Structure 1
Amino acid sequence: MQITAQNWPYPRWVAHRGAGKLAPENTLASFRLGAQHGYRMFECDVKLSADGVPFLLHDDTLERTSSGKGLGGDHAWGALAQLDAGSWHSRSYAGETIATLDNVAAFCLRNSYFLNIEIKPTPGVERLTGEAVAHHASRLWRGHAIPPLLSSFSLESLQGAHTAQPALPRGLLLDELWDGWLEAAQQLGCVAVICNHLLWNADTVGQVKAAGMRTLSYTVNDADAAQRLIGLETDGIITDRVDQFSPAG
């Protein structure tokens, strides 16, 4: 399926890093918990190991969310696979492992779930990460109707993904409206702009929709903020609070 603003199959509600803060982020345990709360679309962060394996990790470094140390991208996958990625969250998740993109793709595809892959490159390999993640996503979703949405704050990563697999849908992530943001999204062939939710108002929503793209927001954990975004007719809400917001709402 070719994803466009007019041909948009993704649900409004997206579970951040699996199940937000209720389980260790970016692990299969978190995805399973988000699914138990009724979510059908998930967001995750993907970078490359030193030997080129796409794996899930938000931070550049390993310390916050695993038993490892240093830059995640400096380690080969064999070493990363041995780390405990659950104990930092709670004892009940002790021994949970870091997930690969292959793991998450299998979970999503076998359950007909949707995925937003944030390309989160280790500094210095932005374009390479975009290219590699796009190639892996194309391979993993080959033959399936609805591909993942690729997104990034890094223009280099999005350009790499665009060059590598132009048919995959892309979204530009923004934490501020820097000069030329809309033009950059258009030049990269993005189908969506994904903003810090505070950046959306009638004007910015109107600009993006007039440019033929969809409007998504992160990370929305407050009911009033969610209602404001729904009132603005935005298209996607990424949340940690899978226990508070019904994805059917």
Structure 2
Amino acid sequence: MPSAAWLTERPIAHRGLHDLNRMRWENTLSAFEAAASAGFAIECDVHLGSDGSVLVFHDGSLKRLTGQDGDIDHLSAETARETKIGGTDDHIPTLPEMLGLVAGRVPVVIELKGIEGRDDGLVRAVADALSAYAGEAAIMSFDHHLIRRFAGDAPGIAAGLTAEGVKDADMEAHFSMLAYNIDFVSYNVHHLENRFVDTVRKKLGLPVISWTVRSAEDKRKSDAVVDQITFEGFDPRG
């Protein structure tokens, strides 16, 4: 299994070091540059574009971030470059653009956003983008159908489960993903601590990071039970 120990070394900027979408918006090259310059690791989200490209964008819908109607998976790399975020000069970047900007300066954690039935090839496309990348990088997802493809389509890349919930059904679903040899877990900070996280850290010895930490209070809670934070909206350095 690939080591994901480097995930614990520095705080991870959620969707880059944005300013809560005032001037510097989430998942933009500006936010990624700000994070890398500050020495923070970077978390980003990706979808599969209409031409098989990997687009860095969180929502399935374009509306919140671009003001346009339509869905992200209907865009090609070319149309993404023409689509501005939040009325700024930043466009929707491709994953290769983002990786080229970061250039190994800080670790990158890529969350794959699935749209089941419309995302065939996403895992392999992300792996292809990472194949020539020299920096530290990991992939993760909420979507179990994508996680089941990680080992076959993205071998050798540190891979994780993004998760939340405290109910027995949540725990059972999460434990089932351990059969797919995940290397780390990213868990909702407001659902800590729990028996799944305890098992992953204490019995399996795998790193656990939290999301999304938005205050010093959240950070204190996270630091007490897991290994690193994914943060936004404040400076975790104090």
Q: CA deviation at 1:179?
A: 4.1
TM-score by length of 2: 0.88
Residue 147 of structure 1 corresponds to 136
Whether 1:237 aligns to 2:211 is no
Does the residue aligned with 1:180 lie in a helix, a strand or coil?
A: helix
The 5-angstrom pairing of residues 1-249 of structure 1 reads 3-4=2-3, 8-10=5-7, 11-20=9-18, 21=20, 23-36=24-37, 38-87=38-87, 94-109=88-103, 112-137=105-130, 139-141=131-133, 144=134, 146-177=135-166, 178-201=170-193, 203-209=195-201, 210-232=203-225, 234-241=226-233, 243-246=234-237
CA distance in 2, matches of 1:18, 1:65: 15
Change (3 A) 1:76 1:184: same
CA deviation string 1:79-134 (max 9, x = no partner): 222111131xxxxxx22111110111112225x21100000123423452123222
How many residue pairs are counted as aligned between the two chains? 230
Residue deviations 1:13-68, cap 9 Å, x none?
A: 100001142521100011122234x2331000011110011011100011111143
Q: Distance in 1 between matches of 2:224 and 2:63?
A: 39
Distance 1:153 1:212, change over 3 A: same
Unaligned 5+ segments in structure 1 are 88-93
Partner letter of residue 139 of structure 2? Answer: L
Q: What amino acid sits opposite 1:98 in the alignment? A: I
Q: C-alpha distance in 2, partners of 1:115/1:109? A: 10
**Distance (whole Å) between structure 1 residues aligned to residue 120 and residue 171 of structure 2:** 22
Which amino acid in 1 is paired with 2:123? G
Contact preservation (8 Å) 1:191, 1:212: no
| Counterpart residue type for residue 162 of structure 1 | A
Equivalent-residue separation in structure 2 for 1:30 and 1:63 (angstroms):
20
Distance in 2, Cα, partners of 1:223 & 1:76: 39
Deviates more, 1:112-121 or 1:200-209: 200-209
TM-score of the aligned structures, taking structure 1 as reference length: 0.84
> Is residue 130–residue 156 contact of structure 1 (8 Å, CA) maintained in 2?
no
CA–CA distance in 2 between the matches of 1:83 and 1:30? 17
CA–CA separation in structure 2 for the residues paired with 1:161 and 1:203: 24
CA distance in 1, matches of 2:114, 2:174: 22
Percent identity over the alignment? Answer: 23
